[in-house]
Structure 1
Amino acid sequence: MLLTRPTRPHPARRFLRRPKAALLASAVTVCLVAAGAPAEPLGVGDRIFPDLGNPGYDVAAYDLAFTYPGSNDKPLRAVTTIEARITSSLKRINLDFAHGTVESVEVDGREADFTGAGEDLVVTPDHALPLGSLTRITVRHTSDPVAAEDQDGGWVRTTDGLAMANQADAAHLVFPCNDHPSDKAMFTFHVTAPNGYTAVANGLPTGAVKAGDSTTWSYRSQHPMATELAQVSIGRSAVVHREGPHGLPLRDVVPAADKQELEPWLAKTPDQISWMEKKIGPYPFETYGVLMAQASTGFELETQTLSLFEKDIFTEPAYPKWYIESVMVHELSHQWFGDSVSPRTWSDVWLNEGHATWYEALYAEEKADRPLEARMKAAYGASDRWRAAGGPPARPKPPAPGQKIGIFRPNIYDGAALVLFALRQEIGDAAFERLEKVWVQENRDTSVGTADFVRLASAIGGRDLTGFFQDWLYAEKTPAMPGHPDWKQVPPPAPSDSAERKS
Structure 2
Amino acid sequence: MALSRSARRSSRLLALATAVAAGFTIAAAPAATPGAPGIGDPYFPDLGNGGFHALHYDLGVSYHPDSGRLDGRTTLTARATQNLSSFDLDLQKLTVDSIRVNDRPADFTRTGDEIVITPRHWLRKGERFEVTVVYGGVPKPLNGPIVFGSDYGWMKTKDGVFVACEPNAASTWFPSSDHPSDKATYDIRIDAPKGLTGVSNGLLVNSYDSGGRSYFHWRETKPMATYLATATIGKFDVKTGRTPGGTPIYVAIDPVLAHQNTVDVYAVTAEATDYWSKLFGPYPFEETGAVVDDMPEAGFSLETQTKPSYSAVRSESTIVHELAHQWFGDSVSVRQWKDIWLNEGFATYAQWLWAEHRGTETAHDSFRAAYNARPAASDFWKIEVADPQRDTMFSSAVYQRGAMMLQALRERIGDQAFFKLLPAWTKLHRYGNADTADFVKLAEHVSGRPLGDLFQKWIYNTGKPAL
TM range (shorter): 0.7 to 0.9
Structure 1 match to 2:354: 363
Maintained 8 Å contact 1:393/1:411: yes
State the Cα distance separating 1:182 from its structure 2 match: 0.6
Deviations 1:54-76 (A, max 9, x none): 111100000110001242x4221
Q: How does 1:95-134 map onto structure 2 within 5 Å?
A: 95-134=89-128
Change (3 A) 1:267 1:445: same
Structure 1 match to 2:158: 159
Q: Secondary structure at the match of 2:440?
A: helix
Q: How does 1:441-480 map onto structure 2 within 5 Å?
A: 441-480=427-466
Q: Secondary structure at the match of 2:207?
A: strand
State the Cα distance separating 1:258 from its structure 2 match: 4.5
Partners of 1:205 and 1:356 in 2: CA distance: 27
Structure 1 match to 2:415: 429
State the Cα distance separating 1:334 from its structure 2 match: 0.4
Structure 2 match to 1:396: 388
Maintained 8 Å contact 2:36/2:50: no
State the Cα distance separating 1:390 from its structure 2 match: 6.0
Verify: 1:42 aligned to 2:44, yes or no: no
Structure 1 match to 2:277: 277
Higher relative contact order at CA 8 Å, sep ≥6: structure 1 or structure 2?
A: 1
Partners of 1:472 and 1:387 in 2: CA distance: 15
Partners of 2:378 and 2:393 in 1: CA distance: 12
Structure 1 match to 2:244: 245
Change (3 A) 1:205 1:117: same
Structure 2 match to 1:311: 312
Deviations 1:246-273 (A, max 9, x none): 3211010112455586383322222222
Deviations 1:174-216 (A, max 9, x none): 1111111111100110101121111111010111132221122
Verify: 1:140 aligned to 2:134, yes or no: yes
Structure 2 match to 1:17: none
Verify: 1:379 aligned to 2:378, yes or no: no
State the Cα distance separating 1:95 from its structure 2 match: 0.8
Query: What amino acid is aligned across from residue 148 of structure 1 in structure 2?
Result: P
Q: Secondary structure at the match of 1:433?
A: helix
Change (3 A) 1:159 1:166: same
Q: Secondary structure at the match of 1:286?
A: coil
State the Cα distance separating 1:376 from its structure 2 match: 1.5
Maintained 8 Å contact 2:256/2:294: no
**Greater mean deviation of Cα atoms: 378-387 or 179-188:** 378-387
Q: Secondary structure at the match of 2:264?
A: helix
Q: How does 1:319-358 map onto structure 2 within 5 Å?
A: 324-358=315-349
Structure 1 match to 2:167: 168
Structure 1 match to 2:18: none
State the Cα distance separating 1:412 from its structure 2 match: 1.0
Maintained 8 Å contact 2:344/2:398: yes
State the Cα distance separating 1:39 from its structure 2 match: 9.4
Q: Secondary structure at the match of 1:91?
A: strand
Q: Secondary structure at the match of 1:148?
A: coil
Percent identical across equivalent pairs? 38
Partners of 2:123 and 2:380 in 1: CA distance: 47
Partners of 1:277 and 1:164 in 2: CA distance: 27
Change (3 A) 1:62 1:335: same
Maintained 8 Å contact 1:39/1:122: no
Q: Secondary structure at the match of 2:288?
A: coil
Once superposed, what is the RMSD of the aligned Cα atoms?
A: 2.2
Deviations 1:52-110 (A, max 9, x none): 11111100000110001242x42210001100000011111111110211111111111
Maintained 8 Å contact 2:110/2:116: yes
Maintained 8 Å contact 2:35/2:52: no
Unaligned 5+ runs, structure 1: 1-37, 314-323, 400-405, 482-503
Work out which of the residue numbers 47, 51, 56 in structure 1 matches 2:46: 51
Maintained 8 Å contact 1:143/1:174: no
**Greater mean deviation of Cα atoms: 342-351 or 39-48:** 39-48
Structure 2 match to 1:287: 287
Partners of 1:234 and 1:188 in 2: CA distance: 16
Q: Secondary structure at the match of 2:182?
A: coil
Change (3 A) 1:143 1:461: farther
Partners of 2:421 and 2:302 in 1: CA distance: 25
Structure 1 match to 2:202: 203
Deviations 1:19-61 (A, max 9, x none): xxxxxxxxxxxxxxxxxxx999821111211221111110000
Partners of 1:154 and 1:390 in 2: CA distance: 29
Partners of 1:165 and 1:156 in 2: CA distance: 8
Structure 2 match to 1:66: 61
Q: Secondary structure at the match of 1:358?
A: helix
Aligned residues: 426
Change (3 A) 1:389 1:125: farther
Q: Secondary structure at the match of 2:390?
A: coil
Partners of 2:96 and 2:128 in 1: CA distance: 23
Partners of 2:272 and 2:378 in 1: CA distance: 31
Q: Secondary structure at the match of 1:311?
A: coil
Q: Secondary structure at the match of 2:48?
A: coil
Deviations 1:335-373 (A, max 9, x none): 111001111110111010011000112212332613432
Query: What amino acid is aligned across from residue 109 of structure 2 in structure 1?
Result: T
Partners of 1:393 and 1:286 in 2: CA distance: 32
**Greater mean deviation of Cα atoms: 361-370 or 428-437:** 361-370
Q: How does 1:14-29 map onto structure 2 within 5 Å?
A: none
Change (3 A) 1:285 1:252: same
Structure 1 match to 2:75: 81
Partners of 2:153 and 2:382 in 1: CA distance: 24
Q: Secondary structure at the match of 1:411?
A: helix
Maintained 8 Å contact 1:384/1:476: no
Change (3 A) 1:281 1:385: farther
Change (3 A) 1:40 1:461: closer
Q: Secondary structure at the match of 2:99?
A: strand
Maintained 8 Å contact 1:197/1:235: yes
Deviations 1:159-188 (A, max 9, x none): 221121110111111111111111110011
Maintained 8 Å contact 1:386/1:411: no
Partners of 2:122 and 2:112 in 1: CA distance: 23
Question: Rg: which structure is higher?
Answer: 2
State the Cα distance separating 1:307 from its structure 2 match: 0.4
Q: Secondary structure at the match of 2:340?
A: helix
Change (3 A) 1:273 1:388: closer
Maintained 8 Å contact 1:343/1:349: yes
